Amino acid sequence: MKLSASISTIRFLNLNSLSVRSYPSSIFPSFKTTMTRFANFSIQISNSSPANTAEDSQVVAPSKPKPKPKPPPQQPWLIVGLGNPGKKYNGTRHNVGFEMVDGIAEAEGISINNVNFKALFGRGFIGDVPVMLAKPQTFMNASGESVGAIVSYYKIPLKQVLVIYDDLDLPFAKLRLLPKGGHGGHNGMRSIIDRLKGSRDFPRLRIGIGRPPGRMDAVNFVLRPFNKEEREELEFTFQQGIEAVRILLLEGFDKSATYVNSAKAIEQLG
């Protein structure tokens, strides 16, 4: 590189005093000769002031991406089995709701030994769905006191409240899953509907216990235990009911209802 012959003055920046001094080029006779020896040397001239250069050299950190908002927590299901507390009623027809909930608890590893809301109560998961299991201890006819309190406290949508109970009008060991309905003369369901301000819009799983033989009073019939043959058949029904509840929570009501209400449902368990 050759310096232009028109350069007549060489300026030096005094860093200590931040001043510029000018000298005639004749004072440095060898400057031109020295620079010509570096053919590949280049000089970049900037019009920026020291302040601007420092400002331009600042590195702006990239903005961090905003975290995605977390989805709201999933509402739990409440699964209620109806029955009467006490050893006197263990194994009776009126307590099949209790037995079904016990089966669900055992299958899913959920403890229901806590007493809360006038019920034996437990919390856990079926798959990745949070669930609450409850067996009201108020006696059948006042079941709504327990169920209504749980629904109100946890603000559970009624479409996620499943009530399991015995039904005289279904053939023995048959299941029926419905999205809503009346109490059908069942006092436990009557109490629950009353405590839910008259709403009937919650699913229910009915377990058939058959009609009383001859002229036997219905009250006496529902408090009778099952015989050996009935008990063996009922075990298949409980297994079907456990699977139906899994399908309901994980795949939806329609698939569960198809499974439960199909005549082939019990055959699928074999």
Distance between CA atoms of 89 and 95, rounded to whole angstroms? 7
CB 249 within 8 A of CB 127: yes
186 counts as catalytic? no
Angle at 90 between CA 86 and CA 95, to 5 degrees: 100
CB 165 within 8 A of CB 187: no
How is residue 269 annotated by DSSP?
G
Name the burial class of residue 218, with classes exposed (0-12), middle (13-18) and buried (19+) by CB atoms within 10 angstroms of its CB.
Answer: exposed
Rounded to the nearest 10°, the torsion over CA 168, 263, 96, 160 is: -100
Q: Which two tokens stand for residue 219?
A: 């009250």
Best CA proximity match to 95, nearest among 190, 196, 226, 213: 226
Q: Which two tokens stand for residue 68?
A: 């995605």
Q: Out of 93, 94, 204, 206, which one is annotated catalytic?
A: 94
Distance between CA atoms of 137 and 83, rounded to whole angstroms? 8
Strands 129-136 and 175-178: unpaired
Residues 6+ positions from 78 with CB-CB distance below 8 Å = 131, 132, 134, 147, 150, 151, 154, 156, 160, 161, 162
Residues involved in catalysis:
94
